[in-house]
């Protein structure tokens, strides 16, 4: 426990009121900032090197004080990008202006606490955990009582475990606490201010799950559709189970990815609004939600053939490796993204025992690489338009834009070429009554691929081309036209 004297810089106006008021001691994690700073630091280190997980276990056995200090030593905390409780900060500024003494008292590492205090410039003292002492709520109470005397301070906190600190405070400021906790605090001291925090809505959880991304998992139905066995109840049920299993497994990966990318997402114009980056959901909530999704996916997976298990496991391993180690590797990242799309196709085949053709695999390789490159191009152009010369957390620079354009458009047109060769192949005659109608597909796809890259080049592409396609009317028209062509070529015999 270290006290860092900085001096109070309150204005003369209202200084008498501030001088007579008891010092206001403010907690950090969950109160001043919405997340736990140590957990954020651990996620940043895990993002840098997965093997830090083993170090965390070793440090934890040596004590929480050691764990916190070791994490803080290795983490660069961007204090300006943290999710502060805006209403509380505004209240603290008014108290500070009135000359009141504000003290930051927290269990987070001293290095982190100082960075936060320096960013806000409101606190005359900082008390936090050191490598020797973990400043638990019990120790905080002892410290504050020895420093100001029992009932000699006011305390602002947010967690039930801080009741021990509130029990000796002259008054309490509550930040986002539940009603049951507020009633317990009221039994010990007066509540002067309360800053309620709205409980996460269902839409918040759905955004965290990225339900809109489940559209990608419709690819598991492709083997069923192209084999013309859509009306088989057994195969359709297997595909539906595969879709749900893949979707909630993917959601667990999205959550994990968002947790690891919180620091980078806060620097991004759009991604900063994601639930974890914006502080709408905590790290603990994210871990629990991801674990629940993964468990449900495993239960559903057990209803399908064993090859599907292996493909789902491969997807989980590949996307985890991508998030932890390969996301910032240029070209490798887009190839892996394309591969993850293809795994969805293979998973649909494994669930139904309908094996994909060479044509389907070749088409998927080219078209998905084109879309993955468009995703990176769109992210990079947004950052360059914002004045940033590099894509934070990735390996691309602004001068890579022409190369990405070449890679993306070339692979998109190669995918159309594969389609044209497929339409002219002998396999088509066995599946379609009127194969000639399928020649309408290549020009439709040429238009769509060209439109995707035109929009991407103009900076009008969403971060995800799949989301763009669902919201883009011409893309939807192309999709409906493709379905109509397939139906006509299957049913019409001219």
> What DSSP assignment string belongs to 366-393?
HHHHHHHHHHHHHHHHHHHHTT-SB-TT
pTM equals 0.76
Position 367 confidence tier, pLDDT thresholds 50, 70, 90: very high
The answer to whether the beta carbons of residues 246 and 220 sit under 8 Å apart is yes
Please enumerate in sequence order all residues whose Cβ is within 8 A of that of 202, keeping only pairs 6 or more positions apart, or say none: none
By C-alpha distance, which of 249, 297, 281 is closest to 83? 281
Compute CA distances 395 → 25, 81, 330, whole Å.
43, 22, 5
Residues 6+ apart with CB under 8 A from 245: 297, 300, 301, 304, 308, 312
Q: Please state the length of the chain.
A: 494
Residue entry with tokens 């639930």: 275
C-alpha–C-alpha distance, residues 323 and 97, integer Å? 45
CB 259 within 8 A of CB 42: no
- Whole-angstrom Cα distance, residue 183 to residue 186? 5
Specify the DSSP element, H or E, that contains 457.
helix 441-457
Q: Where are the alpha helices (DSSP H) in 98-150?
A: 110-120, 137-148
Predicted pLDDT at 387: 66
pLDDT bin (cut points 50, 70, 90) of residue 1 is very low
Q: Which residues contact 268 (CB under 8 A, 6 or more apart)?
A: 379, 382, 383, 392
Rounded Cα distance between 318 and 90, Å, is 45
Among 85-94, 136-145, 350-359, 456-465, whose mean pLDDT is lowest? 456-465
CATH of region 201-326: 1.10.357
Which among 478, 452, 484, 485 has a CA at the least distance from the CA of 466?
452
Percent helix, strand, coil in the chain, to 5, is 65, 5, 30
47-77, pLDDT tens digit by residue? 888 889 999 999 999 999 999 999 999 988 8
Domain ranges of the chain: 15-195, 201-326, 357-494
Maximum average pLDDT range among 295-309, 389-403, 457-471 = 295-309
Q: What is the CATH number of domain 15-195?
A: 3.40.50.1000
User: Per residue in 224-261, is it b (16+ CB within 10 Å) or e — as a string?
Assistant: bebbeeeeeeebeebbebbbebbbbbbbbbbbbbbbbb
- pLDDT value at position 407? 95
Question: Is 439:423 a contact under the CB 8 Å cutoff?
Answer: yes
- Residue identified by tokens 């934070």 is 392
Question: What is the share, in percent, of the chain residues with pLDDT greater than 70?
Answer: 94
Distance between CA atoms of residues 293 and 316, nearest Å:
12
């Amino acid at each position: 426990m270290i006290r860092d004297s900085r001096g109070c810089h309150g204005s003369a106006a209202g200084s008498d009121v501030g001088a007579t008021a008891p010092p206001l001691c403010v907690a950090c994690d969950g109160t001043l900032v919405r997340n736990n700073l140590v957990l954020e630091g651990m996620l940043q280190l895990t993002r840098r090197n997965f093997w830090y997980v083993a170090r965390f276990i070793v440090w934890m056995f040596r004590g929480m004080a050691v764990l916190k200090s070791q994490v803080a030593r290795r983490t660069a905390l961007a204090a300006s990008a943290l999710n502060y409780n805006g209403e509380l900060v505004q209240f603290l500024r008014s108290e500070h202006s009135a000359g009141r003494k504000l003290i930051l008292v927290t269990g987070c590492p001293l290095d982190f606490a100082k960075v936060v205090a320096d960013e806000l410039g409101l606190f005359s003292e900082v008390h936090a955990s050191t490598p020797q002492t973990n400043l638990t709520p019990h120790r905080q109470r002892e410290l504050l009582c020895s420093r100001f005397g029992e009932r000699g301070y006011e305390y602002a906190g947010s967690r039930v475990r801080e009741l021990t600190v509130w029990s000796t405070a002259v008054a309490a400021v509550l930040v986002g606490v539940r009603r049951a906790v507020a009633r317990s605090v009221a039994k010990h001291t007066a509540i002067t201010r309360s800053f309620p925090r709205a409980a996460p809505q269902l839409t918040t959880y759905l955004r965290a799950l990225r339900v809109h991304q489940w559209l990608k998992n419709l690819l598991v139905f492709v083997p069923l559709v192209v084999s013309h066995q859509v009306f088989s109840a057994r195969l359709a049920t297997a595909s539906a189970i595969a879709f749900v299993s893949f979707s909630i497994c993917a959601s667990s990966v999205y959550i994990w990815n968002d947790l690891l990318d919180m620091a980078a997402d806060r620097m991004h114009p759009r991604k900063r609004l994601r639930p974890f980056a914006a502080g709408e959901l905590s790290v603990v909530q994210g871990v629990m939600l991801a674990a629940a999704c993964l468990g449900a996916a495993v239960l559903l997976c057990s209803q399908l053939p064993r090859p599907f298990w292996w493909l789902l496991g491969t997807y989980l391993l590949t996307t985890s490796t991508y998030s932890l180690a390969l996301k910032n590797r240029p070209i490798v990242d887009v190839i892996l993204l394309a591969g993850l799309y293809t795994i969805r196709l293979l998973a649909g085949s494994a669930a139904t025992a309908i094996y994909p053709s060479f044509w389907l695999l070749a088409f998927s390789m080219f078209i998905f690489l084109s879309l993955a490159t468009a995703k990176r191009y769109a992210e990079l152009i947004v950052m360059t338009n914002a004045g940033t010369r590099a894509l934070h957390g990735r390996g691309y620079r602004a001068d890579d834009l022409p190369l990405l354009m070449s890679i993306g458009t070339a692979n998109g047109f190669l995918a159309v070429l594969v389609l044209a060769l497929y339409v002219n192949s002998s396999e088509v005659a066995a599946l379609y009554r009127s194969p000639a109608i399928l020649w309408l597909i290549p020009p439709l796809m040429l238009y769509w691929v060209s439109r995707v890259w035109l929009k991407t080049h103009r900076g009008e592409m969403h971060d995800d081309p799949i989301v763009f396609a669902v919201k883009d009317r011409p893309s939807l028209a192309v999709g409906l036209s493709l379905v109509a062509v397939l139906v006509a070529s299957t049913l019409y015999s001219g």
